[in-house]
Structure 1
Amino acid sequence: MSQTKYYIVAFLICFSCLISAQSNEVEDIDVIKLRIQNTITQSGFDTERGDYFNAKDNLEKALELAIQIEDKKSQGIIYAKIGELQFTVSEFDKSLASLIKAADIQRDIEDNENLAVTYSIKGALHAGKEQYKDALAYLNSAKTLFEENDLEASIPEVILTQAKIHLKLKDYKTAKSLLEQTIVLAKKNNQNDILSSALIYSGKALDKLGNNQQGINLTKEGITIAETNNLTENINEGYITLSTIYENDNNFKLAHEFLKKHVQLSDSILNIQRANLSPERRAEYIQTYNAAEFQKLKTKVEEQESDSNLAKITTILSIALITILSLLTLSLYKNNNIRLKSNNMLQEKNDDLIEAMKKAELASKTKANFLSTVTHELRTPLYAVTGLTNMLLEEKPNPEQIPHLKSLKFSGDYLLTFINDILQINKIEANKVELDPVLFNLKTKVENVCSALNNSALDNNIQMHYDYQKDLPETFIGDNLKISQILINLIGNSIKFTKDGDIWVRVYSISKHNNDHVLRFEIEDNGIGISKEKQDNMFESFSQGSIQINRKYGGTGLGLSIVKGLIEILKGKIYLKSELGKGTTFFFEIPLTYAPETVKIEKEDYSKNISKLDISNIKILIVEDNKINQMITKKILNKMNLQCDIVDNGEAAVEKVKQNDYNVVLMDIHMPGISGLEATKIIRTFDKELTIFALTAVTLEDKMHEFDEAGFDDIISKPFKQEDFEKKLYEVLAVNENKSASV
């Protein structure tokens, strides 16, 4: 540290004191704030020199001044710095108390920038105490706050600490991924200390993953940067890392060389640390030192003892040995009692845990069965509502009837969306949503979503803007359907809560490693915004800003919960920035892998394709107990010039199939008498080739194996999409025509 800085600091402190001495009145608050800042700065210089005691004294002086003028922001900052200092000298309990005080103040005054710093220190503290779950929770909170406040330069250190924790937890793949992110961000922000450390710890992770040579290369690169910047502790960490990797690679000569370097440098660092430890730890070292000196003196005296003293020494040693054995026996006895009590407590807790797991499993099954029953009972009549409404709209109704029919259609579609949202949340919570990665054009996909929603935006007099990073590739491998669903929800939200404004959709890369990108999607609007007290709960199910907002703007409050669940399935994260009356920005980050080409799939009109087939001899059986649903399904088939028979129970279906040569059976599941599942099992005993579709409102995935076991060829969910229904029919009928032609 240059002498100039110390002179400047001394001058500022003296200047502040002079002003104080000349004034007989209460000091001006601005002057006190300047003194606080100067004292904090001096503490920082002391810390850099390793003079922890003076650093702490200066922070405590600054704290007294901040309390005097009720400067809450400075109080929070100072408590956090005291906590960090206490953590550095291993006063963990005191550090935690200081950090809790800092966080309480910063949350109270909404000082989120400095709260993020406090959380990052607290995360490192819990990691030092091997409380890894708490550590990761605080570090994630710190990272989120840094991102929300555009403090990118503070993020690399947080991610580095997260990576170190995952190394401790032996989650080497996650650690490697986090370290790669740290390296990219550290280079971007010219943070050589973090970059050096990240490279060295990457070496550790790669060694554990079996890539020794790359681990050695990265560790050496980290050591080089550390040596250039005089980062002694990083150099030392690099030495022990290389020693370990070489040992694992059976290169014991180099392993020994780097271990020797590590030991030598560790001694040097330890000597410095001893001089700078807390009073408690310093006393401990002094006590240890005195004990060692006493032992040396005792040995020297004993060497000078004559043989005549041998009996005395033997007696003393015998007494000492008996005393030690007695203490050891007592210790073992107490330890055994403690172990027995611990085992009993653990057994009780284990029994409670098993009972809790049984209850949770029962609750989960009850919930699944409830949803299965309720959704079936809702979707079955809903099939009639939506089907009849579409038919009436297509049959040229009277002009005065059209608004009523459109209202009915809107209500049916809304109810169907609500039911589907509940089902999707249930699948997300049950971890039953699977990824379906395909090759797709991301730029086109986002453009299509914006285009599809543009009419709704124009209805609210909204101008949409789309910005796709110029040098970003367009084609990626990923689950494009889930990405579309996320964008539709978020952009739809912005449209709903914005009027006479603008919406911006941006896509850009925030990190890249080979072909792997982490992409950020931003959806910004200048609508009504969200109050701070409501933002914490926005991603919970059935959560909206208020009852009044729900009634005014509509919606179920499930969209953002689904969005968060889908983003987490895509290994991503979502964040929110908003201010009441000024608009909202949602931004989410997901990893995607670049691919050089995209696959274009033309959408087919299966209704026209069916009309081109020879369907004169095609016979279809509808098995459905609901009269309205019978009529709707029959009308749909008749419009495609397909003929069908109808029965209303499973027994009749079995007899009909025995007596007639059908091409397709559309089988309902829940019916009086035997169910559709049982009827299909019976049919399969005498007809293995007949195509049988389950036409049902049951959609829960845990029922799928029952359909497979019964012998269904496929499932058509009610209410079904017209194009999906037509596609499945076309595929079956086309196969039948080919078979007939070959015969």
Structure 2
Amino acid sequence: MRYVLIILLLIFPPTVLEAQEPITLKDSLISLKTSIHHYKNTGDYGKAVLGLEKGIKLANSTNNIEAIIDFYNLYARLNIQFTRPVNPEIYLNEAREVLRMYKYPNGQAISSAIEAYLQASLGNDFQAMQHVRKALGAADHNNPDVTSVMELYIGMTYHKLKMYDKAKKVLQRMIPPINSYEEKYLLAIYQLVLATIYFEEENYESAQILLDNALRISARYGFPRILLDTNRLKYEIAQHEQDYKKALLYYKKADSIQLKYFNPKALQQQNEVASASESEFLNNVIARMSQDEIKQQQKVNISKLTSVLSSALLIIISLLTISLYRNNQIKFKTNDLLVKKNRELQVAKEEAEKAMRAKGEFLSTVSHELRTPLYAVTGLTHLLLEENPKESQKEHLKSLKFSGEYLLDFINDILQINKIDANKLLAEKLVFDLPKALNDVANSLRQTAHENKNTIVLELDDQIPSKLVGDSLKLSQILINLVGNALKFTENGKVIVRTELVYLDHQSCKVHFEVNDEGIGISEEMQLNIFESFAQGSIQINRKYGGTGLGLTIVKSLLSLFNSEIHLKSEVGMGSSFYFDLNFDIPDPTTIEEEKTEELEEASLNGLHLLVVEDNKINQVITKKMLGKKGISCHVADNGYEAIKLAKENTYDLILMDIHMPGISGLITTEEIRKFNTTIPIIALTALSLDDSTDDFFASGCNNIITKPFKPDLFYQTIGNSILKSKSEHVQ
């Protein structure tokens, strides 16, 4: 009979039969699956088994082979979830028997994934990995109902095999899961398994965050098994952290859940239902096999059917031969197709890399080219504001200035991200004063805080050495982004910048940084992608608070240079807390030099004579006027050749050197000037691009850099300090 069934399945595929089913039958199967998942996840083993028995009978009566396989797989999952009241292999074997006769890739994928987990639980590592590969090869990765379940068991398999990195990668990729039947349950179990991995890695902080999420979901939707395991794991963490009060609390919670859902009476009822179900299932299998044997014996005893059986055998052999031939043909075609696809993938990979390079070059070029007109916009706006405009014009000019500065910040953010992506930024190691760096950050944002009636509070750990070795500039960029965000989303509140010493020895130390605010908070859904580019929560938030959505992306990217990560705790309406840890070296006390804080007063700029090297006519006019506002006279050179000639023939206090010019660049011009004048201060006045390196500027002989467009105060301050520094060095 089994061979005859194979022939019928080959001639009349079940998909054809299923396509002819009435809609009501499909609806019945769907409703059954929905209720089975509900009872399975909410701890009602008996009702789940009853639903599965009804589902298999209905699927058999409608010849829905795919539904039969799905119910067998669900039977196996149920018994795994309830710690094997019945051996899941019984149902997986039946699923495999049907899959031998009927091709159903999604059912094969889930069966193989479950089998991989069972083999890993038994310590059969090799067999487990074979089933993982089989599952991944069979699945339709565009079907979230299949991938969400398959990836769960693959992640659990990697966990059993102690392949933690692979397990985390699989599970994190599927959060949040998409599933028609058990989306919330899968979200909770994904986070519970991830928390277990972090616990085994002794990363208790990450484990606690995931367990809190799993606990909230399980409590809300009533998943007793996850509630029990979550409280048990929180008990273990509290024990490791020697917080015995919390440990006792979680132990009591777990014990309460155990008594309510998994007490001896409930377990006995489960075992009784499981035994009855297993007996009925095995009896049905035996009865079906016995019936087949009786019919076979009857046909053997009937001589008139001998020729029919012989013919059937010949047909089967013929079909098998044809099938083998077709399989070989398909195999050859598949191999050819794989070779072709591999070539196409290689070409696609090269095209993607080329596109990435083109994107970087495009953004670099655009950001560089936008800076030149922006210099004109911001420069002319500044000049107009200083020329006593009419009161009716001041608001327009201030709006124009704000828009120009906003656009400049946006361009700078894009350039910063692209430099990190292109590996153009490296973490430096220089001696700096940590309290001074933090105070500078706070002072630079005082005005922003004042606009929203906020205060910035610094809570610095006195145990942290004041002098450290690290990259103070990038640390300041990180904190400015975090504090700036906190100020933007907070009104009439406090933003606290806190540092705590994690550990310290004579060579290095680890410092914990934290930025807390009392703002609007961040929802759980938004926290999943808050660090992605242009992530702002919603259009309403963007319109109300503004911003580019790149600040946190830059923070995450900059921290990656230090092998650190940004973390977040937040609740809607309760504020937010961003925190991270950084390692620093301790400098040799004998090598620390006291910083000179002397600055040139703006009044001292009067009477200076400069050389401005700039090829853009508008920029020449703006720079000349800005210098004239402070009583500074200047000569203007249109190109590098003219600049070299004027530098030889005249005496200047300082040279402002544009870098990107036709003919010879500003770097080459600087090198030529340094051949006959090594003392004059030269400031690179340029619009930085992705390929520009500040190291190249200093190597060519520049003393400082001003990025166009610039803020006037910074422009005058840099000029004054450069001249002051040059004079002090010349005296020495």
Amino acid across the alignment from 2:483 = I
**Structure 1 unpaired stretches of 5+:** 1-28, 38-54, 65-79, 109-114, 162-184, 192-340
* Pairing of 1:202-601 with structure 2 (within 5 A): 359=351, 362-442=354-434, 445-446=437-438, 449-450=441-442, 452-462=444-454, 467-468=459-460, 476-509=468-501, 516-593=508-585, 601=595
**Whole-angstrom CA distance in 2 between matches of 1:539 and 1:548:** 18
Is 2:151 the partner of 1:157? no
Give the superposition deviation at 1:59. 0.9
- Paired position in structure 1 for 2:657: 667
TM-fit CA distance, 1:652: 3.8
Q: Distance in 2 between matches of 1:605 and 1:347?
A: 68
SS of 2:554's partner is helix
CA distance in 2, matches of 1:601, 1:415: 34
Following superposition, the deviation at residue 95 of structure 1 comes to 9.4
Task: Determine if contact 2:489/2:520 at 8 Å carries over to the other structure.
Answer: yes
State the Cα distance separating 1:360 from its structure 2 match.
5.2
Cα deviations by residue, 1:548-581 (Å, 9 ceiling, x for unpaired):
2212211011101001111111221112333444
Q: Which amino acid aligns with 2:621?
A: M
Aligned residues between the structures? 492
Segments of 5+ residues of structure 2 without an aligned counterpart are 1-37, 47-78, 89-112, 177-187, 205-236, 244-332
Shift of 1:412: 1.9
Task: Give yes or no for the alignment of 1:189 onto 2:179.
Answer: no
Partner of 2:687: 697
- CA deviation string 1:123-182 (max 9, x = no partner): 684377696762463598899999x99x99974522589xxxxxxxxxxxxxxxxxxxxx
- In 2 relative to 1, CA 543–686 (structure 1 residues): closer, same or farther, beyond 3 Å? same
Residue from 622, 625, 642 that aligns with 1:632? 622
What secondary structure sits across from 2:85 in the alignment?
Answer: helix
Q: Does 1:644 align with 2:646?
A: no
**Aligned CA distance change for structure 1 residues 366 and 89 (closer, same or farther; 3 Å):** same
The normalised TM-score by structure 1 is 0.53
Cα shift readout 1:356-376 (whole Å, capped 9, x = no counterpart) = 675455445433432333223
Moved more, 471-480 or 411-420: 471-480
- Distance of 2:81 and 2:629 partners within structure 1: 88
1:61 alignment partner in structure 2: 85
Contact 1:475 1:596 in 2 (8 A): no
Whether the 8 Å contact between 2:611 and 2:652 is mirrored in structure 1 is: yes
Residue 122 (structure 2) pairs with residue 89 (structure 1): yes
Change beyond 3 A, Cα 1:348–1:704: farther
CA distance in 2, matches of 1:593, 1:187: 34
Whole-Å Cα distance in 2 between the matches of residues 95 and 348 of structure 1? 27
One-letter amino acid matched to 1:718: K
Instruction: Report the alpha carbon displacement of residue 546 of structure 1 after superposing the two structures with TM.
Output: 1.7
Cα deviation, 1:426-467, whole Å, max 9, x if unaligned, reads: 111112222233444545644554465455345434465555
Check the 8 A contact 2:520/2:572 in 1, yes or no.
Answer: yes
Q: Is the 8 A contact 1:716 1:725 kept in 2?
A: no
CA–CA separation in structure 1 for the residues paired with 2:371 and 2:610: 23
Distance in 2, Cα, partners of 1:685 & 1:439: 32
Larger mean Cα displacement after TM superposition, 426-435 or 637-646: 637-646
Q: Give the alignment's Cα RMSD to 1 decimal.
A: 5.5
> Distance in 1 between the 2:716 and 2:613 partners?
16
The answer to whether the Cα contact below 8 Å between 1:507 and 1:520 also exists between their aligned partners in 2 is: yes
| Deviation, structure 1 residue 627 | 3.3
| In structure 2, C-alpha distance between the alignment counterparts of 1:499 and 1:738, rounded to whole Å | 48
**Structure 1 counterpart of 2:619, one-letter code:** N
1-side partners of 2:685 and 2:491: how far apart? 42
Inter-CA distance 452–689: structure 2 relative to 1 (3 Å threshold): closer
Code of the aligned partner of 1:523? V
Shift, 1:638, TM fit: 3.7
The structure-2 alpha-carbon separation of the partners of 1:59 and 1:591, relative to structure 1 and needing over 3 Å to count, comes to same
Decide which of 599, 612, 615 is 1:622's aligned counterpart: 612
Alpha carbons of structure 1 residues 652 and 528: separation in structure 2 relative to 1, 3 Å: same
Q: What amino acid does structure 1 have at the position aligned with 2:169?
A: A
Secondary structure, counterpart of 1:719 in structure 2: coil
Quote the Cα distance in structure 2 between the aligned partners of 1:645 and 1:730: 21
Report the equivalent of 1:137. 169
Closer/same/farther in 2, CA of residues 81 and 483 from structure 1, 3 Å limit: farther
Cα distance, 1:659 vs structure 2:
4.2
SS in 1 for 2:579: strand
Does the CA contact (< 8 Å) of 2:361 and 2:690 recur in 1?
no
The reply to whether residue 718 of structure 1 matches residue 712 of structure 2 is: no
1:476 Cα offset (Å):
4.1
**Percent identity over paired residues:** 41
Deviations 1:383-408 (A, max 9, x none): 22222333343444444443333222
SS in structure 1 of the partner of residue 424 of structure 2: coil
Q: Is the 8 A contact 1:119 1:141 kept in 2?
A: no
CA contact 1:156–1:186 (8 Å) conserved in 2: no
Q: Is the 8 A contact 1:609 1:730 kept in 2?
A: no
Q: Distance in 2 between matches of 1:400 and 1:729?
A: 35
Q: The residue matched to 1:134 in structure 2 has which SS?
A: helix
Provide the secondary structure at the position in 2 that maps to 1:384: helix
Q: Deviations over 1:92-137 (max 9, x none)?
A: 369979x99xxx9xx99xxxxxx9xx99997684377696762463
Q: TM-score, normalised to structure 2's length?
A: 0.53
Contact 2:428 2:470 (8 Å CA) reproduced: yes
Distance 1:692 1:520, change over 3 A: closer
Q: Secondary structure at the match of 2:83?
A: helix
Q: 1:506 to 1:710 in 2, by over 3 A?
A: closer
Q: 2:496 & 2:173 partners in 1: Cα distance? A: 27
Whether the aligned pair in 1 keeps the contact of 2:703 and 2:722 (CA below 8 Å) is no
Measured at CA, do residues 190 and 582 of structure 1 come closer, stay the same or move farther in structure 2, by a change above 3 Å?
closer
Q: Which residue of 2 aligns with 1:604?
A: 598
In structure 2, C-alpha distance between the alignment counterparts of 1:131 and 1:595, rounded to whole Å: 40
Deviation sequence 1:248-267 (CA, Å, 0-9, x none): xxxxxxxxxxxxxxxxxxxx
Cα deviation for residue 656 of structure 1 reads 3.4
Equivalent position of 1:204 in the other structure: none
Q: One-letter code of the match for 2:201?
A: V
* Partner Cα separation in structure 1 for residue 43 and residue 347 of structure 2: 61
Q: Distance in 2 between matches of 1:410 and 1:420?
A: 15
Q: CA deviation at 1:86?
A: 5.2
Q: CA deviation at 1:668?
A: 2.5
User: Closer, same or farther in 2 for the Cα pair 1:426/1:621, shift >3 Å?
Assistant: same
Could you tell me whether the CA contact under 8 Å between 1:379 and 1:719 is conserved in 2?
A: yes
Q: Distance in 2 between matches of 1:467 and 1:710?
A: 42
Structure 1: distance between partners of 2:524 and 2:81: 37
- The alpha carbon displacement at 1:687 in A equals 6.8
What is the alpha-carbon distance in structure 2 between the residues aligned to residue 645 and residue 623 of structure 1? 8
TM superposition shift of 1:498: 2.8
